[in-house]
Structure 1
Amino acid sequence: MHCESHPIPYDGLAQNAGDALTALGCKIGPTNEDFAAFEQDRDKAPAKPVRFE
């Protein structure tokens, strides 16, 4: 669900957890600094292939 296409008004009633988290994310959303930190901290090594033995 995207914030721009599906705004979720808070009506005081119980909402399902996914809708509540989406609304919170749309309200406080990640910043460019957050994305930069994720990119800096992520492991850039290639993933090891899964082996079935």
Structure 2
Amino acid sequence: MNTIREFLARRRHKGDAGYTTETIVVIALLVGIAIAAVTAVGTTIQNKATSISLDAGE
């Protein structure tokens, strides 16, 4: 149990805690942008597919 406490104490005192938080925020923003891009492309493709006429005579 002391080994776990020592490990957690060392992790708490490391100077990269802000970097980790910043990395998580940047990744979350990139994921949000990716979802928005996929949604926009999907909507465009769906609109194009809907506009295709399947009537052979026209």
**TM-score (ref. length: structure 2):** 0.32
Give the structure with the higher percent helix.
2
Q: Of the two, which has the highest radius of gyration? A: 2
**TM-score (ref. length: structure 1):** 0.34
